[in-house]
Amino acid sequence: MTTLQCISPIDGTVFAERETLTPDAASDAARRARAAQPAWAARPLQERIDLVMAAVAAVGAMNDEIVPELARMMGRPVRYGGEFGGFEERASHMARIAEEALAPIEVGEDARFKRYIKRIPQGVVFVVAPWNYPYMTAINTVAPALIAGNTVILKHATQTLLVGERMARAFHGAGIPEDVFQNVFLDHDTTSSLIASRAFDFVNFTGSVGGGKAMERAAAGTFTGVGTELGGKDPGYVMEDADLDAAVDTLIDGAMFNAGQCCCGIERIYVHESLFDAFVEKAVAIVNGYTLGNPLDEVTTLGPMAHRRFADEVRAQIDEAVGMGAKAHIETFAADDGGAYLSPQILTNVTHEMRVMRDESFGPVVGIMPVKDDDEAIRLMNDSQFGLTASLWTRDLARAEAVGDRIETGTVFMNRADYLDPGLCWTGCKDTGRGGGLSVIGYHNLTRPKSYHLKKVTS
C-alpha cells in the first residue's frame, strides 16, 4: 500500500491522507462493480434518474462544509462559493435529456421485419477526476454513466483527496447501492493493472497529457474505450469591432480565476492592433485590483496555486519569457511567498518561441500579442499542440462562425469564455485528447450500440 497525502497550499501542512487499496482489494472492488451492474441497469430509467438527482441534492446539502474544505485542499477562495451551481446544472441537464438520448433508434418496421438500435450500458465505467474543479469534472461522467445503467468506480486526484468520499457518502445516502458507485484510492501501478486486465469497460480520464498516455498504454490491446481531456492552451481573439470592456473583463477573468487553474482557462490572447494598447491597459488595471492571500479570508480574490510545484513551473515560464524579451506588467504582490502564493502576471512582447505561449501554464499568467487580421490570428491560434476551446470577440456572428470553422479546437465561444455548456459536447483535439462528455454525445460514449434485426414469422 501507498499513503496518499493532500498537502494544503495554504500552509504546506498535510491536510488529509489515505492508504491506497492493495491490488487484491482493488480487483475485488472492480468485481463487485461488475456483479452489481446488471441489476442496476435493469432498474427503470426514471428510478436511476431520481436516485442520481437525490444524490446531487445530498452533495448540495454539504456545501457549507465543502467550500472551506476545497480552499484547504486546492486553494480556491471561499468567497466564490464552491462548485455546486455547475455540479447541479450539468447533472440536471443530463437527467433531462436521458430518455431521448438513450431511446432506441427506430430504423423501420413492416409486415416482415422490425429493426432498431438500442443504447446498451458499457458496463463498469472508471472515472479518474482532476483536482482543479473536482466536483464538476467528476459529475460530468458520473451522473450520465449511472443514469445510463453503468456502475462507476471513481478515483480522485490526491490533491482533492476527500471529494470522492463526500460524493460516495451522498450517493449511498440517497439510495444508490455501494457497489454501484465506489470511491477508491489507487496507486498508479494498480490503476494500470486494473485497466490492462479489463476490469473496466470504459475509462474516462481528465488530467495531464502524460497521464492520458499512461491510460492509453494500459488499455492497449484490451479494446477498452478511453476518453480523455488533457492539456490546453486556450486562445482568445479580440477583433477590431469587439466590445472592448466586455472582452477585457471576460478574458482576464478567464485567465486568472482559480489562480489560472481552469481546464478551459485563457492562456494566450491575440488582440487586433487597433485595440491592443487599450486592451493591455485595462487588463493591467484589473489584475492590479486582485487580492492575493489566504483563500479562507473573504477579501481574498486570488488564492494560492494548488501546489508549490505548479507555481514553480509558472514562475519558470515567466522568467524564461522575460529573459527572451517579454515585458512583465505586474509588480510582485506582497503576499507572493515564492511558493504556492504566486503573483498574477500579464506579459507583452511575447512570441511563440517562448514556452509561456506554447506549453500549458495552468496558472495566473497570460501573454498578449497584437495581430493585424483574422488570418494572422488563426495562424497563431492553431500554432499549438492543444485544442480545447477558443474565444472569439466580435459583433459579427457570421465572421465568428467563419473564423471558428478554421480553428483547430473542440469548442468555439463567441463573446464569452471559460464555460462548459452541458448541452454541447465537451471535447478536444490534438494533445488535448479525444472523446466527448455531456450532451447527447456524452451518453453515446457511455453506452454501446446494439442492433436488432427481427424477422417476423408470417405463416
- Looking at residue 293, which CATH number applies to its domain? 3.40.309.10
- Angle in degrees, CA 413, 414, 415, rounded to 5: 115
Whether residue 177 is found in the same domain as residue 54: yes
Q: Does 428 map to a domain? A: no
pLDDT score of 453 more than 90: yes
**pLDDT value of residue 168:** 98
Dist CA 315 CA 345 (whole Å): 10
CA nearest to 408, candidates 266, 243, 283, 233: 233
Active site residue 263: yes
Dist CA 63 CA 69 (whole Å): 10
Percentage of the chain exceeding pLDDT 90 = 99
pLDDT score of 148 more than 80: yes
Active site residue 229: yes
Residue with cell 486592451: 279
pTM score = 0.97
pLDDT score of 197 more than 90: yes
pLDDT score of 217 more than 90: yes
**pLDDT value of residue 263:** 93
Percentage of the chain exceeding pLDDT 70 = 100
Query: What is the torsion angle, in degrees rounded to the nearest 10, for the CA atoms of residue 430, residue 432, residue 435 and residue 438?
Result: -140
At 122, the pLDDT band (50, 70, 90 cuts) reads very high
Whether residue 190 is found in the same domain as residue 269: no
Q: How many structural domains compose the chain?
A: 2
Dist CA 245 CA 222 (whole Å): 51
Whether residue 203 is found in the same domain as residue 96: yes
Q: What is the average pLDDT across 151-156?
A: 98
Whether residue 25 is found in the same domain as residue 162: yes
Whether residue 345 is found in the same domain as residue 216: no
**pLDDT value of residue 170:** 98
pLDDT score of 290 more than 80: yes
Whether residue 221 is found in the same domain as residue 342: no
pLDDT score of 178 more than 80: yes
**pLDDT value of residue 242:** 98
- Angle in degrees, CA 31, 36, 38, rounded to 5: 120
**pLDDT value of residue 1:** 79
Q: What is the average pLDDT across 217-221?
A: 97
Whether residue 120 is found in the same domain as residue 240: no
Dist CA 272 CA 369 (whole Å): 9
Catalytic residue among 263, 267, 313, 425: 263
**pLDDT value of residue 165:** 98
Catalytic residue among 69, 83, 88, 229: 229
- Looking at residue 38, which CATH number applies to its domain? 3.40.605.10
**pLDDT value of residue 286:** 98
Q: Give per-residue pLDDT as tens, 312-365.
A: 999 999 999 999 999 999 999 999 999 999 999 999 999 999 999 999 999 999
Whether residue 250 is found in the same domain as residue 208: no
Mean model confidence pLDDT for the chain: 97
Give a three-class secondary structure readout of the chain: CCEEEEECCCCCCEEEEEECCCHHHHHHHHHHHHHHHHHHHHCCHHHHHHHHHHHHHHHHHCHHHHHHHHHHHHCCCHHHCCCHHHHHHHHHHHHHHHHHHCCCEEEEECCCEEEEEEEEECCEEEEEECCCCHHHHHHHHHHHHHHCCCEEEEEECHHHCCHHHHHHHHHHHCCCCCCCEEEECCCHHHHHHHHHCCCCCEEEEECCHHHHHHHHHHHCCCCCEEEEECCCCEEEEECCCCCHHHHHHHHHHHHHHHHHCCCCCEEEEEEECCCHHHHHHHHHHHHHCCCECCCCCCCCCECCCCCHHHHHHHHHHHHHHHHCCCEECCCCCCCCCCCCCCCCEEEECCCCCCHHHCCCCCCCEEEEEEECCHHHHHHHHHCCCEECEEEEECCCHHHHHHHHHCCCCCEEEECCCCCCCCCCCECCEECCCCCCECHHHHHHHCEEEEEEEEECCCC
Q: Does 423 map to a domain? A: no
Residue with cell 510545484: 309
Q: Give per-residue pLDDT as tens, 242-285.
A: 999 999 999 999 999 999 999 999 999 999 999 999 999 999 99
Whether residue 223 is found in the same domain as residue 91: yes
Whether residue 111 is found in the same domain as residue 254: no
Dist CA 261 CA 132 (whole Å): 6
Q: Does 84 map to a domain? A: yes
Dist CA 428 CA 305 (whole Å): 25
Task: Name the strands in the sheet holding 151-156, side by side, starting at the edge strand that comes first in the sequence.
Answer: 181-184, 151-156, 124-129, 202-206, 225-229
Whether residue 111 is found in the same domain as residue 239: no
Whether residue 221 is found in the same domain as residue 191: yes
Q: Give per-residue pLDDT as tens, 92-101.
A: 999 999 999 9
Residue with cell 515567466: 318
The residue segments making up the domain with residue 406 are: 234-414
pLDDT score of 459 more than 80: no
Q: Does 270 map to a domain? A: yes
Dist CA 425 CA 432 (whole Å): 14
pLDDT score of 433 more than 80: yes
Sequence-separated (6 or more) residues with CB below 8 Å from residue 123: 34, 37, 150, 151, 200, 201, 202
Dist CA 425 CA 421 (whole Å): 8
Dist CA 213 CA 278 (whole Å): 42
pLDDT score of 458 more than 90: no
Give the three cell numbers for residue 394: 466580435
